[in-house]
Amino acid sequence: MVIRAIALSLALLIGVGAIVPLATESVEAGKRKTKRYKKKHYKKYSKAWWRQYRANQRRKKAAQARRRALRLRQLRLARLRKLQNPKAKPAAAPNAKPAETQAAAMLPSGQAAPEGWRPGQLSGSEIQFSVDGGRGTAAISVVGPATGETVDSGRNRTVGGVPTSALRREVINRMIRENGWVVNDYQKEVGDKKVYVVVAQSQAGGRLNSRMFYFTEVAGRIYSVSTNTGVDSADRIAEESEKVINSLQPRVRPTQQASTRED
């Protein structure tokens, strides 16, 4: 029994002695890194450097030639498809608008509206437009008949005999209904017309809008031009509104001559 125990102990010692060196060698082998080959760097303008430079240029030119050949092949295929199917309609542009929306809107004077003004919703009491690429609105309406002359000095300022205080009160009432407020009011001349202007602002959907109201008298009627646009485009729309006001002209009726009858 003793001899058997001694034999087993020697066998274990020999086995452990053989395993430890192998494990150590494998661990050290795992830490080794593979050798990486770096791009060779030659002294600039040396013979080897010029060889490498010319090789790079040849590769670049070959790649450009392949791209040109591919583009030429695509153009030829597109031309061939067009010849084979000449009746095919070209694809519509993504931002193209219907012809009826691209039609120019007309002003009451018969002139074309400013560029960018499109016909808006129909209303019997006013002419409405869509402006600023559909982000704003404009309207032309008749407030009422004139009752006198326009006065732009003193306390009793009027537009066609109607006090400017009454026109301003109408704008204030409208702003109260539309969650807005009046900022300023003044009188100015647009062309040869005296115009009363009320400046207001309103909020809609978290956006601040500029509201402009122009009042002027033309041929015994008081016209109103109102706009509702974003603050960033207010100056441009104001210039276009003044062009609209300047276009409002009295209609000239043809004179009728009385005919005489000979007896």
For residues 162 and 133, the model is more confident at: 162
Whether 169 maps to a domain, the answer reads: yes
**Mean pLDDT across 178-191:** 88
pLDDT, residue 1, reads 67
pLDDT in tens, 87-146: 655 555 555 555 444 556 777 767 777 877 888 776 667 788 888 878 888 888 888 888
**Is the distance from CB of 245 to CB of 216 less than 8 angstroms?**
yes
What is the percent of the chain with per-residue pLDDT over 70, rounded to a whole number? 75
Residue 20 in this model has a pLDDT that exceeds 70: no
Q: Which residues pair with 37 in a beta bridge?
A: none
Domain count, the chain: 1
Residue 190 in this model has a pLDDT that exceeds 70: yes
**Mean pLDDT across 29-41:** 60
Domain around 155: 104-247
Whether 13 maps to a domain, the answer reads: no
Whether 186 maps to a domain, the answer reads: yes
**Is the distance from CB of 163 to CB of 240 less than 8 angstroms?**
no
Ranking 61-70, 103-112, 202-211, 251-260 by mean pLDDT, the lowest is: 251-260
Whether 259 maps to a domain, the answer reads: no
Q: Tokens 């015994």 correspond to what residue?
A: 220
Whether 63 maps to a domain, the answer reads: no
The band of 58, judged by pLDDT with boundaries at 50, 70 and 90, is very high
Whether 114 maps to a domain, the answer reads: yes
Residue 258 in this model has a pLDDT that exceeds 50: no
Whether 113 maps to a domain, the answer reads: yes
163: closest CA among 172, 152, 171?
A: 152
Distance CA 85, CA 91 (A): 14
Residue 237 in this model has a pLDDT that exceeds 80: yes
Whole-model pTM: value is 0.55
Q: What is the CATH number of the domain that holds 207?
A: 3.40.1000.10
For residues 102 and 226, the model is more confident at: 226
**Mean pLDDT across 197-215:** 88
pLDDT, residue 213, reads 93
Whether 228 maps to a domain, the answer reads: yes
| Residue 103 token pair | 């039609």
One-letter-per-residue 3-state SS of the chain? CHHHHHHHHHHHHHHHHHHHHHHHHHHHHHHCCCCCCCCCCCCCCCHHHHHHHHHHHHHHHHHHHHHHHHHHHHHHHHHHHHHHCCCCCCCCCCCCCCHHHHCCCECCCCCECCCCCEECCCCCCEEEEEEHHHCEEEEEEEEEECCCCCECCCCCCEECCEEHHHHHHHHHHHHHHCCEEEEEEEEEEECCEEEEEEEEEEEECCEEEEEEEEEEEECCEEEEEEEEEEHHHHHHHHHHHHHHHHHCCCCCCCCCCCCCCCC
